[in-house]
C-alpha cells in the first residue's frame, strides 16, 4: 500500500483507527439552531441566538457579553442580568473548546446595562 494512493475514505478510516480527529462534520450535537443560549466559557459568559455550529465553533447573533449575572438561577430563569455589554450587530464566533456549559434562555439581552 502506498500512502499517496489512499482514497479519502481509506484515509478517514485510518485516522479513526489511530484516534485521529474525525474528518467528517460531527453535526450540531445537542445544539439547537435558532435557540437563545447563555454560554459560559473559561473566561466569560456570552448570550446570543445560535445561527451555526461548526466542528470547532458556535456562531451567535444578537450576542452580548454578560459582565455580571446577578443571582445566577434567577438570571437564567428570567434572562435578566445585572451587567450587559452587547456586541455590535453581526455574528460572534465562540470556540467550542472554551465552553464550560450552556443553557437555553428565553431571550437575548440587547440593551447595555
The pLDDT score that the predictor gives to residue 1 is: 65
Angle, vertex CA 17, rays to CA 16 and CA 21, nearest 5? 30
pLDDT of residue 9: 78
pLDDT score at 14:
74
Over the stretch 47-66, which tens digit does the pLDDT of each residue have?
999 999 988 999 999 999 99
Burial label, 110 (beta-carbon count in 10 A; 0-12, 13-18, 19+):
middle
Q: What is the Cα–Cα distance from 9 to 81, expressed in whole angstroms?
A: 48
Low-confidence residues in the chain, pLDDT < 70? 1, 20-28
Q: What's the pLDDT at 68?
A: 96
pLDDT for 77: 94
| The three three-digit cell numbers of residue 95, written as one number | 470556540
Amino acid at each position: 500500500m502506498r500512502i499517496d494512493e489512499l482514497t479519502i475514505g481509506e484515509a478517514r478510516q485510518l485516522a479513526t483507527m489511530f484516534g485521529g480527529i474525525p474528518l467528517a462534520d460531527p453535526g450540531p450535537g445537542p445544539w439547537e439552531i435558532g435557540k437563545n443560549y447563555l454560554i459560559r466559557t473559561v473566561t466569560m459568559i456570552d448570550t446570543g441566538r445560535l445561527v451555526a455550529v461548526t466542528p470547532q465553533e458556535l456562531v451567535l447573533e444578537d450576542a452580548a457579553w454578560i459582565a455580571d449575572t446577578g443571582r445566577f438561577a434567577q438570571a437564567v430563569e428570567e434572562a435578566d442580568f445585572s451587567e450587559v455589554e452587547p456586541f455590535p450587530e453581526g455574528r460572534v464566533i465562540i470556540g467550542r473548546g472554551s465552553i464550560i456549559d450552556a443553557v437555553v434562555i428565553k431571550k437575548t439581552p440587547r440593551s447595555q446595562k
